[in-house]
Each structure stands twice: as C-alpha cells, then as structure tokens.
Structure 1
C-alpha cells in the first residue's frame, strides 16, 4: 500500500485508526506507570524548563501530582513520570 495512492476518505479512515492506536498505547503506558507509583515516591520528568525532580503527593486515574524540589506542584499525565531508581 502506498500512501500516495489513497483517497481522501481512505486517508481519514487511516488517520482515525492511527489515532485510536496511539490513544490505546498511551493508556496502556499510563496504567503500567500507575501500578508502579506510590505516594512519597521520588520521580522525575521532562518539562519545558528541563528535567524536574520531585515527590509524588497524589495519584489520580489520569494525572499525577508531583511537588518538585523548588516546591512547585506539577499535575502531569502518568506516562510522562519516571520513577527514580534507588542506589
């Protein structure tokens, strides 16, 4: 299949399938992260300001509330949070 050969309707259908697949994969990733998170756990994530380090203070179904080292609160999707590895 060559994308150049698809009609506009076929491209819209393909786009819808791709968007649904992306949403599904993001949801699976969020669920995976949520099962690993605990209150008080040290985490990090990327923000426009750069890498942010903080502690989980609240876990919701679709977001995680993190307080950063500079006492700012961040409400972010679970899929963006990375758990700090203990050393």
Structure 2
C-alpha cells in the first residue's frame, strides 16, 4: 500500500510518526494480551533462559506485557507470554528435556 508522504510538512510528518508509533504499541499490546489469554494464573509453564537453560514454574500474575512466573527454585521472572510453554503432569523440580526430532537412535 503506497503512501505519498513527499508533500507533508515537518510537523505533519512528526504527527504521523506519533500516530504510527502509538498504533504499533497498541498492536504489540494486543498480541501480548492474546498470548496471555492462553494461560491461567496457577498454570504450570516452562520457558528458556539464556543463562539458566529451561526453567519450570507456576504463572502467578499477569502484567501489562509480561507474566510473572515463580520458578521451582523460588525465583520470580517476568516473561513475555510468547516465550512460555504449557506443561502438564510434571512434578516440581523435574527436569523437562525438549523433544529433538533430529537425534539419532
């Protein structure tokens, strides 16, 4: 969708930029909200940390753009909901090994 902005003044371009940024923030918030609604408070979840590997815990709170997860080692993490994976029937402290379809048997 081409938009001709060549005729806009500096002030009009700044105003357009503000509207675009606000729209992008709104869409990001809606995306995060939609991802959050796939979980419930109290749900068992897992997520990957670059420092600590795969962690498991319980979702304890919905924030504006993230959720708060209390991990099995009693640490609180604010995690984007898109990074969460639901887990079921996993006892506290049990390590979850990701499934690797490329492993040789």
TM-score with structure 2 setting the length: 0.54
Cα RMSD over matched residues? 3.3
TM-score with structure 1 setting the length: 0.62
The structure with the greater share of residues assigned to strand is 1
Larger RCO of the pair (alpha carbons < 8 Å, separation 6+): 1
- 4+ aligned runs moved over 6 Å, structure 1: none
Between structure 1 and structure 2, the one with the greater Rg is 2
State the partner residue of 1:82.
84
Q: Which runs of 5+ in 2 are unaligned?
A: 89-98, 100-105
In the TM superposition, residue 9 of structure 1 has moved relative to its aligned partner by 0.8
The structure with the greater share of residues assigned to helix is 1
For residues 16 and 7 of structure 1, the distance between their equivalents in structure 2, rounded to whole angstroms, comes to: 14
Aligned residues of 1:42 and 1:55 also touching (Cα < 8 A): yes
Q: Which runs of 5+ in 1 are unaligned?
A: none
